[in-house]
Structure 1
Amino acid sequence: MRALEHGEAVRIVRQRQVIIQPRAHIVTMLSMAGEDTSVHAVAIGRLGVPPQIKVVADPRRRDDQYELLRWLLPHFEAYYAQCRAEQTFPQLWVSSEGALGHLDTLADRLRFTDDADVQRLGELWTYAGERSPITGQQALISATSALRAHYATGQQETEDEHLGALLTWIAPPPGRDILAAVAMAEKHPMGAKTDPRFDADELQPAVELFNKARKDDDRRVQVFHAERIQQMIEGVIRPIYTATQAAMAILSRPEWLDNPALLPLAEEEAAQFAGFMEARDQGHRLPYHDSAKAAAFKIVARERTVDNVEAAFLRHDRAARERAVESGTVLRGTLVDRQKVRLAPRTFEYRMVLTTHQDSLHLRAGDEFWHLDDPKVCIRITEVERRGPFSWVSGIVEDGKRAAMELDIAAIFDFGPERPDWGGTVREFMQMGTRLAAPPWTHGDAVPAATPATRARPNDLLAAVEELVR
């Protein structure tokens, strides 16, 4: 509402929410209308570097399409090799979620072609594509999603997917109505598709003339129309590449504070990339569909990553913590009492009582909450009681008893989920591997033998069941 009132985007965080790798690659691709798995044109480069552009006059011809993809392969081979040498990870920036989906779809299709070079490119892109749905991943970044994590605009979230409109909200032209400026920005495509009117009025006739010249074997006319198509496409793809660069430049400004929560994400990304490339070196193929076991492992990894990323941001990102306090997933309370109670000789129990004015707390007896600023202290909730405008939360200290007794009365503390356990996924995989070594009969072809009943069957089954539930 404030952005709409002032006609300018509003910053919603002060700390950077994404990592920007020094050598991150900007990948801008356009597909032909009706050909979602094609690449009509590509612009590739880095922040502050002009793009290298390659255009195919008609990507429906497989040989021409493969020529463009082979042209891309050395760029990514060199970049991935450099990342491996530096023990870091590659990062690809695209303009929007639509462009991200286009690259992910291409990665799936290309690695099953009959051309070794194109197959290799598909494998390299698959790393970024498979990482894209993972919470906190830093391998494949959409410029629109990265900007939305830092700014709020006066339009709907779906409208923020147009990178040009989003940048207009962030840096509106002086002296102009913001909605009129956004409407002008939206006239230029910013995804993986060209404008339908442009396709019908300009591009399609040019492609038809190119194919006619090729059919007539008129090399001079063919080159003329190919260059004409290139000029048309460059007029579309260059602004998208430039807008992606602008988004990266905005997020690279020194005004954004460092975010320690991003450090473990970078380490995790580097470890995932190293494992992915080692598997390629060993000749392991990437299947089109995961097996049931592989899918189960990936689901577990995603769930664990969600918990770890949330815990990391709650400890180091002030905006994330404030949102969690507002929603009630983090307990922000004033310490009103702490006691050391003797239960038996040499046996003591440490108790704490906090008060909070939060209305929508998500906690109940038995939950464990950890001190977000002192990872040694953990309390187990024993009672939650509402007294007027305040909630009184009582708990027993499970870990960090000595540190808990040193906390100041009347001071305010934040309690939330346990600190991130980035190694927990590996341990859980080991447990799952042991359990899945012998699949249950429900997942096999063999049906277990029938077990004979030891009791006589009752005459009235319904009456017998009703008797059990009384």
Structure 2
Amino acid sequence: MSLDVYQRLLALSRARAVPAASRAHRHLSPRPWLLTGYHLAGEPSAPVAIRYGSFRDSPKLLTVAEPRDRALRFAALGGLARDLATYLSRYTVTEPVVRATGSGRELEVDHCCVDAPQLVVPNEATAHWVGLLGQYLRTLDDPVLAAAGAHLGWIASRRHLPGSSVLLTATDLLTAHWRTGQLPTEDGHLGRLLAWIEPPAGADAWQAARDAEAMPPAGPASDPSWDQVVLRPALERAKQQGDVRRLKLAAAEVLDGAWRDTWAAIDLVRMLPPGEHVAKRWESDRWSWTRHRERVLAGTVSFSARLSDVPAYRFLHELETRTAALERQMALDDPLVMARYLATGEAVAGVVFKRDPEHTVVNSGGRSVLRPLLWVRTAAAFDRPAGTELWWGKVGMVVRGSTDDTVELMVTSGAVTRPKLNLLPDTDAEVVLAPFGPLQYFPDNLPDELPWPTRSSRPKPAPEPEQDDDLDTDLAPAAPAAAAVDLGGTPGRVPGPRADPGDGVPAGGTAAPGEPRGAL
């Protein structure tokens, strides 16, 4: 049984959510920008009402009396765009940063924004809607709306990168730190999720979750019965009589719960101490925001609907390496997360009861090298085979053998010279040996041939004509003119170096030039 399943069963028996983390693994801005709203059923580009702002007690409410009327829609969204620009203008201050370039042997001074904006929404559906709004607005001729669309597009693009905190959903924020006794799909309902974590006094989680489910959803799609009973009459009144008071009251009432619940989710996570690596991941977001601002100011910001070949490969590579790095960092920061690896046997915890710091072995060159030995007494059997790599901080070890309650390990890196023997754990020290070594940087090395999912669908070139035996084969035939300008080459084959290899992410990019890809 995995630890996640056990925690869900424990929450089920207690009728209350149990902690899944003891550290906050998402960066929380002191002044985030919250957004929640509704759109017409089946028409994401037709917002009915949006509540937004960075002040808990004084949010702004945007309503559209006739969402299908483009003029009214653009007028309302223009107010949202201007307020968004005002919020983003607070994050323009930069500071000089000394960074390594190229192979890391040269240094240069670059400028990075000291902070970056953060958008928080109630659920995944609203986060997806933010991306659709950005895609819709940036195609318009109005420069204010187009700029807002570019910013929303960048914010939405960061959502796909593990470890980014630019766009947070309240449901993801809570499920990353608590386990409930309900199904994972039910955790997508923000009201039910909060009911499990903090049920009202005198009520258990089941009753609180049922009560929360009876309330209007957090958007952006609304409840059909609410549409019929409340929204439709309010829209008809606004259209026929020009009276929008009923629509504003209905929108304020239905969005009040989502607004309040989103702030409650932020407050719950803020009570946890931040993980050690959170600041480093936020630094990556700050660099991305800096580059995005530069592209907006230069008028070069763009977004690609579909990636092909090398950009697609680099983006998938970025997702994979960031996912692995995030899992590693969360485990090293948080004992509760590390407990999952202890439960599966990938990590081992125990007490050092014996050590031999003077142990040596003969390497392949015939030279005697220092390889200290450690013996750790464990509470449970560790059944990983000999040769398994484990780490204690920056000290790397391999398993030499194990019994029901003992693991013998040989140090292979980090403390294999006499000046560094003091890095070894002392006798009687409690240790947790994990499969995570020091922070790795993931170079962007391209393979000779791309994996098939990232290859383009371009037709294969026509086969070259066969050589005549009477021709002088010592002379290579001249290349056709078309081949001289074809930079793509054979589908799946990586082209030669180009002046601008691209960011490896969708146009509008997320990674700062010069940064190691995949490093969080």
Q: One fold, TM greater than 0.5?
A: yes
Mean CA deviation greater in 176-185 or 406-415: 406-415
Higher relative contact order (CA 8 A, sep 6+): 2
Judging changes above 3 Å, is the alpha-carbon distance between structure 1 residues 244 and 393 closer, same or farther for their aligned structure 2 residues? same
| 1:207 counterpart letter in structure 2 | L
| Match in the other structure for 1:459 | none
Judging changes above 3 Å, is the alpha-carbon distance between structure 1 residues 334 and 2 closer, same or farther for their aligned structure 2 residues? closer
| Match in the other structure for 1:400 | 415
Judging changes above 3 Å, is the alpha-carbon distance between structure 1 residues 450 and 416 closer, same or farther for their aligned structure 2 residues? farther
Deviation at 1:8, TM superposition (A): 3.1
Per-residue CA distance 1:199-258 (angstroms, 9 max, x = gap): 1223224334544x2xxxxxxx1x22x3222222221112211211222222233xx223
- 1:154 paired with 2:181, answer yes
Judging changes above 3 Å, is the alpha-carbon distance between structure 1 residues 369 and 190 closer, same or farther for their aligned structure 2 residues? same
Judging changes above 3 Å, is the alpha-carbon distance between structure 1 residues 420 and 398 closer, same or farther for their aligned structure 2 residues? closer
Provide the C-alpha distance between the structure 2 equivalents of 1:441 and 1:240, rounded to a whole number of angstroms.
Answer: 43
Provide the C-alpha distance between the structure 2 equivalents of 1:361 and 1:48, rounded to a whole number of angstroms.
Answer: 52
Long gaps (5+) in structure 1: 214-220, 453-470
Deviation at 1:273, TM superposition (A): 1.5
| Match in the other structure for 1:110 | 137
Judging changes above 3 Å, is the alpha-carbon distance between structure 1 residues 382 and 238 closer, same or farther for their aligned structure 2 residues? closer
Tell me the TM-score normalised to structure 2 length: 0.73
Count of paired positions: 426
- What is the SS of the residue equivalent to 1:158? helix
Residue 287 of structure 2: which of 267, 271, 286 is its match? Answer: 271
| Match in the other structure for 1:234 | 252
Judging changes above 3 Å, is the alpha-carbon distance between structure 1 residues 292 and 208 closer, same or farther for their aligned structure 2 residues? farther
Mean CA deviation greater in 72-81 or 111-120: 111-120
Residue 319 of structure 2: which of 286, 302, 310 is its match? Answer: 302
Judging changes above 3 Å, is the alpha-carbon distance between structure 1 residues 278 and 290 closer, same or farther for their aligned structure 2 residues? farther
Kindly report which structure 2 residues correspond to 1:432-451, keeping only aligned pairs within 5 A, or say none. Answer: 432=446, 445-446=460-461
| 2:369 counterpart letter in structure 1 | F
Does the 8 A contact of 2:383 with 2:402 survive in 1? no
- What is the SS of the residue equivalent to 2:391? strand
Provide the C-alpha distance between the structure 1 equivalents of 2:180 and 2:321, rounded to a whole number of angstroms.
Answer: 32
Provide the C-alpha distance between the structure 2 equivalents of 1:444 and 1:340, rounded to a whole number of angstroms.
Answer: 61
Deviation at 1:79, TM superposition (A): 2.1
Residue 332 of structure 1: which of 349, 354, 361 is its match? Answer: 349
Mean CA deviation greater in 315-324 or 20-29: 315-324
Kindly report which structure 2 residues correspond to 1:47-66, keeping only aligned pairs within 5 A, or say none. Answer: 47-66=55-74
- What is the SS of the residue equivalent to 1:245? helix
| Match in the other structure for 1:23 | 31
| Match in the other structure for 2:373 | 352
Provide the C-alpha distance between the structure 1 equivalents of 2:205 and 2:44, rounded to a whole number of angstroms.
Answer: 33
Deviation at 1:315, TM superposition (A): 2.4
Mean CA deviation greater in 170-179 or 68-77: 170-179
Judging changes above 3 Å, is the alpha-carbon distance between structure 1 residues 242 and 447 closer, same or farther for their aligned structure 2 residues? same
Mean CA deviation greater in 112-121 or 25-34: 112-121
Long gaps (5+) in structure 2: 1-8, 94-112, 468-520
Does the 8 A contact of 2:120 with 2:168 survive in 1? yes
Residue 291 of structure 1: which of 298, 308, 313 is its match? Answer: 308
Provide the C-alpha distance between the structure 1 equivalents of 2:456 and 2:122, rounded to a whole number of angstroms.
Answer: 48
Does the 8 A contact of 1:135 with 1:309 survive in 2? yes
Deviation at 1:24, TM superposition (A): 0.7
Does the 8 A contact of 1:308 with 1:419 survive in 2? no
Judging changes above 3 Å, is the alpha-carbon distance between structure 1 residues 156 and 347 closer, same or farther for their aligned structure 2 residues? same
Identity value in percent: 22
Provide the C-alpha distance between the structure 2 equivalents of 1:440 and 1:58, rounded to a whole number of angstroms.
Answer: 45
Residue 84 of structure 1: which of 92, 96, 114 is its match? Answer: 92
- What is the SS of the residue equivalent to 2:88? helix
Residue 258 of structure 1: which of 245, 252, 274 is its match? Answer: 274
Deviation at 1:149, TM superposition (A): 2.2
Does the 8 A contact of 2:308 with 2:456 survive in 1? no
- What is the SS of the residue equivalent to 1:30? strand
- What is the SS of the residue equivalent to 1:141? strand
Q: CA RMSD in A?
A: 3.2
Judging changes above 3 Å, is the alpha-carbon distance between structure 1 residues 267 and 441 closer, same or farther for their aligned structure 2 residues? closer
Structure showing the higher helix proportion among its residues: 1
Residue 244 of structure 1: which of 245, 254, 262 is its match? Answer: 262
| Match in the other structure for 2:390 | 369
Residue 434 of structure 2: which of 415, 420, 423 is its match? Answer: 415
Per-residue CA distance 1:141-171 (angstroms, 9 max, x = gap): 1111112222223322222222222222233
Deviation at 1:46, TM superposition (A): 2.3
| 1:348 counterpart letter in structure 2 | V
Tell me the TM-score normalised to structure 1 length: 0.80
| Match in the other structure for 2:500 | none
Does the 8 A contact of 2:91 with 2:115 survive in 1? yes
Provide the C-alpha distance between the structure 2 equivalents of 1:21 and 1:292, rounded to a whole number of angstroms.
Answer: 36
Kindly report which structure 2 residues correspond to 1:179-194, keeping only aligned pairs within 5 A, or say none. Answer: 179-188=206-215, 189-194=217-222
Judging changes above 3 Å, is the alpha-carbon distance between structure 1 residues 136 and 364 closer, same or farther for their aligned structure 2 residues? farther
Does the 8 A contact of 2:348 with 2:382 survive in 1? no
| Match in the other structure for 1:131 | 158
Judging changes above 3 Å, is the alpha-carbon distance between structure 1 residues 361 and 157 closer, same or farther for their aligned structure 2 residues? farther
Provide the C-alpha distance between the structure 2 equivalents of 1:363 and 1:242, rounded to a whole number of angstroms.
Answer: 52
